[in-house]
Structure 1
């Protein structure tokens, strides 16, 4: 008997069947999605295929594991504390609210909670583009306490997306000023262009600023097309995935590997 056993696992939403020796060491794995058996050692080929036989379906290729790409090597060498990929939408606000939830009773809702709702809504919409070859990073920190709400990287390029809560309110965009409801106008578009410029410098690739409005009444007034800034509602964010191809898949992965490294952003 070979003494091999098959252990099913899930990695990044994909099922893998690991073949382990009596000491628990992995000797191979089978990726159902790609239909490939990856052998760590060629000398166990027959034993591995015998152990996997009940699980194999359709045509299967057998061979050594693929050589990792530079992007994969960069990811593997990244310390978990420096990896921004696990950040949740609104990560910085979630941490701030956990540390200081504010008074239990207040006359007006905590504005941080509205901002969190906006970032979560936009972040979830961007995360849904993952299957189309896009990657979304959330709460990307910048020196000085600033941050990019969301960074979207994919075939159509790079986008720094700022989420703005505007539930059932009128919005007026008069570059560079943005007015929501009865609030005082602020030069938000100037800030978004500056953040995108910093991201462009960090990644040495052009990053386009996007203002994502969450839940406006439909009364959105844009006096003139803002210079270099897209203004979209949260329900329109999927349109970013339809932008014409700009980056090759390898470039997307390389930029994502660079962007998820916290150290990349310390230089801007």
Structure 2
């Protein structure tokens, strides 16, 4: 979805484990490294972490306002097509995963939302008017 400001969120995943704002990054045949000082692609620094965090904050604020209860969207950077993904961060501020690992990583997380919360958040996220303000 896209906000009027131009900020866009590539994908949202909503389920029992929570709300995840996915920021997909296509880095075909490149080496991606994630460590204490950020994410690099072929040795060059990126702004992937702050961009993902900003998108997740906007999603959280929007869904909290529309749903009437606190909704915390977690930022996730999804790497597509990289030759190598090396994660060296013990407690990363943003989850970074290769796209092929995303389903197992998210489905393996503990539930944090009740079924009725998932339904309310899902309905709000599907409504075009949610993202137009």
The TM-score range, normalised by the shorter chain, is: 0.7 to 0.9
Change (3 A) 1:209 1:166: same
Structure 1 residue 207, shift from structure 2 partner: 0.3
Does residue 226 (structure 1) correspond to residue 86 (structure 2)? The answer is: no
Does residue 161 (structure 1) correspond to residue 27 (structure 2)? The answer is: no
Consecutive unaligned residues in structure 1, runs of 5 or more: 1-139
RMSD across aligned positions (CA): 1.9
Aligned residues: 126
Moved over 3 A (4+): 174-177, 221-225
- For the residues of structure 1 that align with 2:7 and 2:97, how far apart are their CA atoms? 22
Determine which structure has greater relative contact order: mean sequence separation of CA pairs < 8 Å that are 6+ residues apart, divided by chain length: 2
Deviations along 1:167-215, one digit per CA (max 9) or x if unpaired, are 2211122466422226x42222011101101100011100000011112
Q: Which has the larger radius of gyration?
A: 1
Contact 2:85 2:98 in 1 (8 A): no
- For the residues of structure 2 that align with 1:176 and 1:208, how far apart are their CA atoms? 20
- For the residues of structure 2 that align with 1:176 and 1:199, how far apart are their CA atoms? 25
TM-score by length of 2: 0.83
TM-score by length of 1: 0.43
- Give 3-state SS (helix, strand or coil) of 2:46's partner: coil
Name the counterpart of 2:7.
Answer: 146
Consecutive unaligned residues in structure 2, runs of 5 or more: 65-70
